[in-house]
Structure formats: structure tokens, C-alpha cells
Amino acid sequence: MSPTRTPAPPPTSTPAARTKAAERQPRPEPSSRAARRRSRAAWTLALPFLALFAVFTLLPVAWSLLMSVTDTKSADLRSPLAVGFVGLDNYIKLFQDPVFFTALRNTGVFVLFGLPLTLAAGLAAAVVLDRGIRRFRAVFRVGLYLPVVTSVVAIAVVWKTLLEPRSGLVNTALGWFGIDGPAWLADTRLALPVMIVMAVWRNLGTVMIIMLAGLQGVPRSLTEAAELDGAGPWQRFRRVTLPLLRPALLLTSLTTGIGYLQFFDEPFVMTSGGPLDSTLSATMFSYRQFGYGNYDYSSAAGYVIFMLIAALTVLQFRVMREKD
């Protein structure tokens, strides 16, 4: 007669087994009451920002749009509801104003030359810092980025002092070589190019930092494979590195282009828009009209600038978007 077998006790569950079992169990869905409570808490935390945004951004934007289609002047501030509706008359008047066309032309020249020069200079600096300079790299980064964090008014004052025709350092240095330096900021042919050069020097640091981050994200294996296939340095940069920098190029071109379309501080500090309106920008034209009390005309000019910014942004997205 065979002995009776005692059934083995069930295996003791380990902590790891209990953890896996708990993970397999479906988690209870949050109740609608808890979801609503979290939603109310989120909106409560966002309410201060929304209030400030509405008061200091949305309201002024909407009010300026209304002013651009009315005959609002500085004298109408006491009775803003008594102004008259004029439709698109301010915009029609703008495009019949030769001074505004001069301001638009100066702004277009500033963007047309300043934007590609800034991108090219920033990209060149990033390539040199990424692969050319090994020692004191951090020092060069700080030195090239320092103008970005410096006040543009301070930079404009320094450049104006350096370019003084009689006592400025630039003409003094040219005099050492027997060259009679020009009146840089008093010449209608030189004032705007000087501001373009200053803007490129001041803003290439931002482009350099973003491009440097993009270059460090390019896989070395791709460039090494292209080198093994016989591609030269320029071909590797053009066919491999540059396409991978498209997002960085789009970001820098957008931010720099928008900033250049609104350039104001340089001519305001250095030339006051002169000589003979050769450095008058579109934003400075709008500022002048506001100072004259023509709030309607100034608002219309501001919205023309806004439409130019929107058009430039759409154009840059179409040109530099990712290709399938």
C-alpha cells in the first residue's frame, strides 16, 4: 500500500512577482470629479497670466486695429468713442506717402543684406568653433556672444563715437595710413550700410550658438561615410551637414528676419533717421507719426509692418521646410 502524498504548499510569492502582478492589473480610471478638480486648478494657476496677456497684449492689439480704421488723433483721447470710421483710407494714404515708401525701402535693404550676412557669419563662426579651434573655445564663444547680451543702445552709442568724422577712432586709424575717412553717419550712401554691419556683428552670436548646437548633433558616421566615398570638405558640408542644419537655419532666419523688419534702436540713437531719411525705418516712421499725434496713421503703419512680418515668415517656411 503506497504512502499517502501530502500536497505541496503553494509557492510563496516574491516581491518581484507581486510587482509584476500589480502592473498587469488595470489601473482605475480617474473619476470625472477628480478630472474637473484638476482642470479648475490648472485654470486657476493660468488665470494671472491670461489676465495680464489680455490686458497688455490682446487689448492694445485690438484697439490699435480699431484706430487704424478710424480718424483717431491725440486730441481724441478724452472722447475715444467720438471718432469717425474711415475704413481703409489710412492704408491708402500710407501707400501714397513717399516718406513711407522710403522707410519701406530702407527696411527692405536692411533685411535683404543683413539677414543672409548674419546667417553666413554665424554659421561660419560655428563651423570654426566646432572643428577649427580647440584651445580657448569657451573664450571665443563668450566673446562672440557678448554683443547679444549688451544693450543695443550702448552699442549704438559706442559705434557712433567710434565713427565720429574728426575724433572717432576709425578715422583716426585711417589717418595713420594717409586716408581721409568719410563722415560715416552723415553720408546718405554709407549710413545704412554701417548699420547693417553693426547689426551683423551684434546678432551673429545668436546664430552661432544655435548653429553650434546643430553641428554637434550631426552624426560623425555620416560625414565619415561621405569621406570614404571620396567627397571633399565642401561636398561633405553641402550634401551632409547643411541639410541636417535646416531646422536651425529656419529658426535663426525667422527670429533674425522678424527682428530686422522691426529695426529701430540703431537709427534712433545714431542718426535719428537721417541724413535725408536714408536710415528711416518703417517702425521709426510709425513712431514718428505716433509722436505727431496721428494715432490712426501710426497704427496703420504698424499693421503694414505686421503683414510684412507674416509674409516673410510664410516665405521662409516655404523655402526652408523639410523636403520629402
**Would you give the DSSP letter of residue 54?**
I
- At residue 81, the pLDDT reads 73
Contacts of 301 (CB under 8 A, 6+ apart): 94, 100, 282, 285, 286, 289
Global pTM? Answer: 0.81
Contacts of 137 (CB under 8 A, 6+ apart): 129
Q: What is the pLDDT of residues 291-318, one digit of tens each?
A: 898 988 999 999 999 999 999 999 988 8
Query: How many whole angstroms separate alpha carbon 164 and alpha carbon 216?
Result: 42
Of residues 322 and 169, which shows the higher confidence score?
A: 169
Q: How confident is the model at residue 1 (pLDDT cuts 50, 70, 90)?
A: very low
Peptide bond just before 275 cis, omega within 30 deg: yes
Q: Report the pLDDT averaged over residues 93-107.
A: 93
The per-residue DSSP string of 283-312 comes to: HHHHHHHHHTT-HHHHHHHHHHHHHHHHHH
Q: Report the pLDDT averaged over residues 93-110.
A: 94
CA 309 from centre of chain = 11
User: Could you give the percent of the chain with pLDDT greater than 70?
Assistant: 89
Q: What is the pLDDT of residues 170-206, one digit of tens each?
A: 999 988 988 888 999 998 999 999 999 999 999 999 9
Distances (CA, A) of 321 to 123, 195, 282: 19, 30, 28
CA 233 from centre of chain = 31
Residue 85 phi, psi (nearest 5): -85, 125
- At residue 108, the pLDDT reads 94
Q: What is the pLDDT of residues 43-77, one digit of tens each?
A: 999 999 999 999 998 998 888 888 889 888 887 77
Q: Report the pLDDT averaged over residues 74-95.
A: 83
Q: Which amino acid is at 148?
A: V
User: Could you give the percent of the chain with pLDDT greater than 90?
Assistant: 43
- At residue 127, the pLDDT reads 87
Of residues 17 and 243, which shows the higher confidence score?
A: 243
Out of 23-27, 42-46, 270-274, pick the least confident.
23-27
Q: Report the pLDDT averaged over residues 249-268.
A: 92
Out of 28-37, 138-147, 185-194, 204-213, pick the least confident.
28-37
Question: Is the pLDDT reported for residue 7 higher than 70?
Answer: no
Which residues is 70 bridged to in the sheet?
85
